[in-house]
Structure 1
Amino acid sequence: MLKRILLAGLSVVLLSAAAPLSAPASASSYRLNPFKLVNLARNGVFRDHGVPGFGRLSAAHQAGQITARDVIRAAIADGRLSSEVLDDSRYVRSVEHHLIDINGSRER
């Protein structure tokens, strides 16, 4: 009986340790998730990198002057994200969706 419990416990530990190695990259694997990234941009954190803050971010995004990739590049330049994020289409799309949400529009 004790052997079964130990074996089951060991199996769980081994499987949980192996899972992160085989999992694909996702937005949650980055230090900064898309929601937090857009909030930082909205609060003006990336102004020094060409991304306007507050209402100007929303207006620039609506006018097509600022894209999700621009915000991501600003975070990379600010040392908050690694450049590999630009290759993650799910992360880029998620940032885009959050930018649309701050515009007050649900049209996608």
Structure 2
Amino acid sequence: MMKRLAVGLLSVLSFAFPWGGALLLSTIPPAIAPAASASGFQPNPFQLVNMAYEGALVEQGIPGHLQLEQDYTAGRIRPRDLVMAAVQTGDLPESRLQDEGYINAVRSQMRSLMIDNRRGPFRH
């Protein structure tokens, strides 16, 4: 629970205070702090779900937009599948596949996406 809270908080803070990301990461335990990817970019769970939703992982077999939502709801796409796709693109290190905190944060972001999309625009 604490890991999920920390990862979620980090996601929110990284968008609110982009200049403080390095400072925040320096205080996070190694189990939560990301390892560098080959490209230097490593998506946080929020960014990974958005990448998938926008269709950036189609070549890895992850559909975008409504099809992603439908496949996730039907159980054809799991959070681990999104992580595997990002590993295949080189955006995440393979070690993320064993990082249950990261995978749980992806699951949480997928649920948030589903809830937000059911509400529709301007219904918050």
Counterpart of 1:101 in structure 2 is 112
Counterpart of 1:29 in structure 2 is 34
Uncovered stretches (5+) of structure 1, i.e. residues with no partner: 1-19
1:41 correspondence with 2:52: yes
Give me the whole-angstrom Cα distance separating, in 2, the residues matched to 1:85 and 1:73.
8
- Quote the RMSD (CA, aligned, Å): 2.0
Identity %: 32
1:84 correspondence with 2:95: yes
Secondary structure of the 1:45 match is: coil
Counterpart of 1:3 in structure 2 is none
Question: When the two structures are superposed, what TM-score results if normalisation uses the length of structure 1?
Answer: 0.72
Give me the whole-angstrom Cα distance separating, in 2, the residues matched to 1:34 and 1:87.
14
Summarize deviations over 1:37-95 as a string: whole Å, max 9, x none: 00000000000001000111111000000000000000000110010001111100000
Give me the whole-angstrom Cα distance separating, in 2, the residues matched to 1:23 and 1:91.
13
Structure 1 segments, 4+ long, off by >3 Å, are none
Secondary structure of the 1:103 match is: helix
Give me the whole-angstrom Cα distance separating, in 1, the residues matched to 2:103 and 2:83.
8
1:67 correspondence with 2:67: no
Return the index of the structure with the highest Cα Rg. 1
Give me the whole-angstrom Cα distance separating, in 2, the residues matched to 1:78 and 1:24.
23
Please, which of 57, 61, 66 is the counterpart of residue 68 of structure 2?
Answer: 57
Give me the whole-angstrom Cα distance separating, in 1, the residues matched to 2:66 and 2:115.
11
Aligned length: 85
Secondary structure of the 1:29 match is: coil
